[in-house]
Structure 1
Amino acid sequence: MITARDDRRRTFETVPAGVEAVSWWGRAWVSALEGASPDAARLARGRTYAEEGHVDAVTVTPGRIVAYVRGSRARPYRTELSLPAFEDAEWRELLEAVAADPAALAALLEREVPQSLAESVLPGAGELVPHCSCPDFGRPPCKHAAALCYRAARLLDTDPFVLLLLRGRGERELLEELGRRSAAHAAREQPDSAPDFPGVPARAALARTVLPPLPAPLAAPAEVGMPPAYPADPEAPDPLALDQLASDGAARALALLTTGEDPIAGLTLWHDAVRLASAHPTAGLTGAARTLYRDLARATGRTTTDLARAAAAWRQGGRPALAALEEPWDPPAGPFDRARPALLAAAQGSFRPDRNRLTSGNRQLRLGRDALWYPYESRLMDEDWWPTGRPSPDPVTALLR
């Protein structure tokens, strides 16, 4: 399991080739440092250092980006660029704005900085501050800091979550929080009334008095193909719903052809809704997935938050994982008697038992009826437990994956 602390530290052994920033936010990052430098020669020298590979591995944590930069001396210099991290109140305001803006959500999922966040997350005047252990005591930035700035811009080009990490939050925790907030927004939306399209029962449309001979069966394809494009006919069924049905039907057909088993045999309405939702790991962040989550939740009498949580559990391991989420039970004492000392020996702390659950702070393990341990996590002082990773027969492995 990746903890919030782990999620807030990233090290890049290699940086994308090139020096010139490609994205608009990468160029804005470079401009924040260049605009504060009166010495064009230092900047040019720093650009050359970056081009020649003088910048070693880059480490990013909230508020700073650090690397060792090799100059003219044998010993490299520790070079740092600092940027103020956001306070919790600033993060709450920013996340709420993003969750309410489908365009901003879509941009983040495409690994782009939304234009609506530009003024909030990009460095403002004087915010990006360089530090270096070199003996250059002139007005910063020195050539080593400039070299780090140019290399960091290439990281931001390909992964804007590096910029958000500098502001204080890791990618995984951001997406989880956005998923929860987006589910809350979807729950507050009032769905439109279902359209009443004319038609006839499928049984009547397909009924024949004499059936033609069946064609020779084709070989099963290697993978499921893409559904066809549907015309924009205002009187036709919802093209998004058709796309989802076609994609799911094709996947089910391929499973029947290759294994002879129906993947939805024996599922309840709720189980099938969770299965469909689990195929969209964005948990309702995009407009299309949000509509699907809302419709499935309405059809099953659940909330979109319930559905998002259940879909996350289903991705852990299907029906057994969903049972671990929804069905507390009383296991025999043996698994707990072995698990608690093992967790303590692995320096994971003391876990409190309650039925099939072991809890320590904001971490939890749930023992499924399949004898696997399922990891969960909640925010501190909050009983809002969410699945976090793959299960394992070993509790320590499940907790640390």
Structure 2
Amino acid sequence: MERAYLDNAATTPVRNEVIKVMINTLKYSFGNPSSVQHSYGREARSIIEESRIRVAKNIKASPDEIIFTSGGTEANNLVLKSSISDLGVRHILTSKLEHPSVLQTVLYLSYKYKVCVNFIKIQEKGMLNLNHMEEILKKNDAKKTLVSLMYANNEIGNLLEIEKVIFLCKKYNTYFHSDTIQFIGNFPINMEKLSLDFATASAHKFYGPKGIGFVFIRNNILKKIKPFLIGGLQEYGIRSGTENTHGIAGLSEAFQLCCCNFLRHIKKIQNLKLYCISELKKIIPNIIFNGLSSDIDKSIPSILNFLYPTKKDHLLYFHLDLMGVSVSKGSSCHSDVKKESHVIKSITNRYLLNKMMPIRISFGIFNEKKDIDLLIRALYKINKQKNFS
């Protein structure tokens, strides 16, 4: 059966080149990277440090600013929890559109450590009200603050007005953490020019393996961070535990391949998105796109989110899957199909949500126009069956 995988925001397929590197590492470089007394350990250590240098070079950072983690969730947790315990942060400013690994951690820290938490007001289409952000910062300027906002929203694709946020963070002397998990590996990023204190990434969002990611921590801050996992000196003593050598090698290879082909990949995915928008408009009159996902200039090319006119049919996604099309309703961290996305609920009125179902399409470098054609045929068929049932 013909199939179309259009859920790349949840996870991307692993490149063949990455699989090859990982298999070779598993087979020939199996030593413990902390066993530097012999060549097996030193070879594994060399792979990790060369990978660190490679990643750092591609984001214009110093190698000692890169800490490997088990993925984006751990990286976000590390930043948020360390900010409270090691940097003296007593106030967190974020938004209700963040990933659960940020929102749930912030709520936990608020409860356990009595940290003050404020949420920036959300404007039309999911844009953040930066005037409100400044009001909050001005009001809490006596408290050490961490601002945590994602660069590219994982459900509606909105791009943060990051330069304006950085300006405000500098003005009010606050730390700035950006969840860049949908951004890093898919867009170029320059840490020399972009004044982020923390940034997080996950390999499986850029055609690498699951279970491996990294956090960028600005050098002057890294020196203040105490061990997040205790029991060893790995990852500069911040994250103890034997390193995932083959995962790190896979991440490094995937990242390098993406960084070498940014312009070509971005252009291809933009064209796919424009084509998909055009085709959807043909079969769904007055289609409603969620957030800024249909705005090429204000959203990432890989994500398109819209409301499909149907009653609460939670089997919609399964119907599409049976027709060979893989899409999602939103973040893959919400496995309950019946549970509404907190992002979509925040930006869409209840009347529309009672009549329509959100569909998130996310494109990748392996997609072609034929995948979109299959999606359009499947939606058209479902719509026809619905009208005649």
**TM tier relative to shorter chain:** under 0.3
Name which one, 1 or 2, has greater alpha-carbon Rg.
1
With normalisation by structure 1, the TM-score equals 0.27
With normalisation by structure 2, the TM-score equals 0.28
Higher relative contact order (CA 8 A, sep 6+): 2
